[in-house]
Amino acid sequence: MMRRSTLIVGGLSIIIGLALFKTKYAVMALEQQHQQIKKGIQETNEALHVLRAEWAHLNDPSRLQILAQKYLDIAPIGSTQYVSFEDVASKDGGYDRKALEDLIAKAVADPKPFASDAD
């Protein structure tokens, strides 16, 4: 009887030992995966921080104004560019198509329509 119980206890000990061994390595693999995920999150957060800083620099209003002046041929709207509704109004309350077309033709013919009044 003693031999049978010793074999059963020994067998159970081996099975439990193997199960613990397998569980230990499964936990170690999960811990390694967890560390890799944490590292990836940290790298992503650092990249986001850099991108936000770059975005803030690129959208700086003074920088955008300098670039607009350098690359865009525009200026503030001059007082001669404003048109009142009376200039294009018709008698029925709508707009006079001919007067509007004349204003558009005049604006297109102007070589520098966006030049300020000071020029």
CA angle centred on 83, ends 77 and 86, rounded to 5°: 165
pLDDT digits (tens, 9 = 90+) for 34-79: 999 999 999 999 999 999 999 999 999 999 989 988 898 877 777 7
Q: 80 pLDDT exceeds 50?
A: yes
Please tell me the distance from the alpha carbon of residue 13 to that of residue 6, in angstroms, as a whole number.
Answer: 10
Q: 20 pLDDT exceeds 80?
A: yes
**Residues across the chain:** 119
Q: 26 pLDDT exceeds 90?
A: yes
Dump the DSSP string for 20-51.
Answer: HHHHHHHHHHHHHHHHHHHHHHHHHHHHHHHH
Name the pLDDT band for 112 (thresholds 50, 70, 90). low
**Nearest by Cα to 118 from 81, 74, 78, 82:** 78
pTM score > 0.75 for this model? no
Mean pLDDT of all residues in the chain? 84
Please tell me the distance from the alpha carbon of residue 51 to that of residue 47, in angstroms, as a whole number.
Answer: 6
Terminal alpha carbon distance of the chain: 115
What's residue 97's pLDDT? 78
